A and B are shown apart, each in its own frame.
Chain A
Amino acid sequence: MTLASLTRDWEPMAYGFLDASAKREIRRKTLKAISVPGCQMPYASREVPMARGWGTGGLQVSCTLINPTTRIKVIDQGADDSVNAASIRRFLARVSGAPTTTDTLEADLIQSRHRIPEERLREDQVLVLQVPNPEPLRPVQPNMSIARQMHADADYGRMWLQLYEQIVRAGRVMQGASYPSLVNGRFVMTPSPIPRWDVPKLHMAKHLTLLSAGREKRLHAVPPFTKVEPLVFDDVPYKVEEHAHLMCHRSGLKGFFMNEIPQADGTSIHEVSDSDLGVKAIHRTEGAPVEIGATWYENGEMGQ
């Protein structure tokens, strides 16, 4: 008799890594978050095999939503092939047996760090955004108890004060990412550090967006067809990054959000940030039968 013969064969402790209790907690809070768009819902969090702050919020939501037929796509700053994205994608596939993909059109569940794909998402797709700091009021109100009261009262005057200060000091709004946005005319949320370019993609989008913060253990949601309006002054319009004229040096794509690659001679070249879109464009140029879906931006302009 050996120890091995006395014990059962090893098996994962639960499908999708998280135990049933943890999944139930996140599902309940997800439903609440969807019911009250933009409102942060605290949740009891399990430990996951990653350091907090590396996507644990998004990972827990993904582990909760996943099933064996869910096609998973994981992107990190637009790229499918970064170490962080590849690790999370491999982990999700390993604990669920779900297939993975890098194609936005094929994916059912997209976990993303700080970007929304350039191709429009559909009603049947879910976008999970990793959020480092879910509290938009933190820069103006460090006391979280008072911040909660401010949310309850819709007391968001100081958010505009922050924008006022930026315009006074720099002549323009300097908020690059995490641009505070009003959801469904009620709650101001931080849309995670997605660039300004991506915020309009959330407005009246067909897909469900879930935003989850692992360190803070809070999640909020933008349900399909919900208004998401960046905070702006009536006479200072919202502006996205001026990337419309930039061209991807690899794929030749133009009119999308680009990564800048500085060169030794002081100049810069650009590369489309959504790596899947870039790869598809290259394959199409090479003659492969590749489907590129409708994009949010057309010729650098946000479409309807």
Chain B
Amino acid sequence: MTVQQMDAPRLITTRPLLIAQGVSKSYGSVKALQDVSATVYPGEVLGIVGESGSGKSTFLRSLNLEETPDSGSYTLDLPDVQGNLFDLDRFARRMLCATKIGIVYQNPHLGLLMKHSSSGNVAERLLVAGERRFAVLREKAREALDASEFPLSRMDAPPVELSGGMQQRVQLAKAIALEPALLLLDEPTTGLDVSVQALVLDTLKRLQQERKITMVIVSHDLGVIRTLADRVMVMKGGRVVEAGLADQVFQDPQHAYTQQLVHAKL
């Protein structure tokens, strides 16, 4: 059998889950985002790195529809989700974020009710989505906390009584409780000591492998991005200066700023 006689392999294409194009945002005279575009495929992890003030968190907040950019478009390839999401009204945004997008903030106070129980924090997300059975809420909260490797013996302790690493696990459990199509992580390990960072990263990596969750992770820590991301976007001054496969960007950085970042050491 010659090469010509073999059946040509069928090429299967996948549509991107997330397409953001030309996103720009200014705060007065400060241009936080300038024509930022990103594409993320289902099951992929996009890492966004850059120094403080580079616009990476503003971009992530835009993806979570907390910010309305001055221009640009944002689409998610999901059933019943159509058009530019930046054009949605407040109610539609809330419902979309409550059911399809999960987020873990750097500061747990932004994502958690610190005096409610940890399981209650997870249950809140299910309640917003309309679940009204106590037993189901309890079970799903338990499952999500377990998946985040949170000790179930403390599932009813309020986050205010927990360590930083534990608080991040509660945030993670809350974010994944509804099995979101997109998980956004804003500096999820910043402020944690190295051993706890490693545990949180292990959990994230395992969850990504098991559940194939599409993630966008923002960090100024290249180690975090290197551990988790398939593709990397480097931002500086509100612009994307370099983007590519993680290995490619880290092994062979092209832009001077990326080279500086990759080679920077204390």
A residues at B contact (CB < 8 Å): 149, 153, 155, 157-158, 160-161, 164-165, 167-169, 233-236
Contact = CB atoms under 8 A, between A and B. Distances in A.
A161 B121 CA distance: 8
B154 to A, nearest CB: 13
Contact of B127 (A149, A158, A167, A236): A158
A153 B90 CA distance: 9
7 contacts: A160-B127, A161-B120, A164-B127, A168-B156, A233-B133, A234-B134, A235-B133
Contacts of A235: 133-135
A168 B124 contact: no
A167 B134 contact: yes
Contact of A161 (B116, B133, B135, B156): B116
A234 B133 contact: yes
Interface residues of B, number: 18
A236 B124 contact: no
Contacts of B94: 153, 155
Contact of A169 (B113, B134, B156): B156
Contacts, number: 45
Interface of B: 90-91, 94, 113, 116-117, 119-120, 123-124, 127-128, 132-135, 137, 156
Given A168-B156, A233-B137, 14 more contacts: A155-B128, A158-B124, A160-B127, A161-B120, A161-B123, A161-B124, A164-B127, A165-B116, A167-B134, A168-B117, A168-B119, A169-B156, A234-B134, A235-B133
A167 to B, nearest CB: 6
Contact of A164 (B91, B123, B128): B123
Contacts of A233: 132-134, 137
Contacts of A149: 90
A236 B132 CA distance: 10
Tell me what chain B mostly uses at the interface: helix, strand, loop, or mixed.
helix
A158 B113 CA distance: 10
B90 A164 contact: no
Contacts of B116: 161, 165
B134 A236 contact: yes
Contacts of A164: 120, 123, 127, 134, 137
Contacts of B120: 161, 164-165, 168
A148 B21 CA distance: 34
Nearest to B113: A161
B97 to A, nearest CB: 12
Q: 10 shortest A-B CB distances, which residue pairs?
A: A157-B127, A233-B134, A157-B128, A234-B133, A160-B127, A161-B124, A234-B132, A236-B134, A235-B133, A165-B120
B38 to A, nearest CB: 29
A145 to B, nearest CB: 13
A167 B128 CA distance: 18
Contacts of B156: 168-169
Nearest to B156: A168
B133 A157 contact: no
A181 B156 CA distance: 26
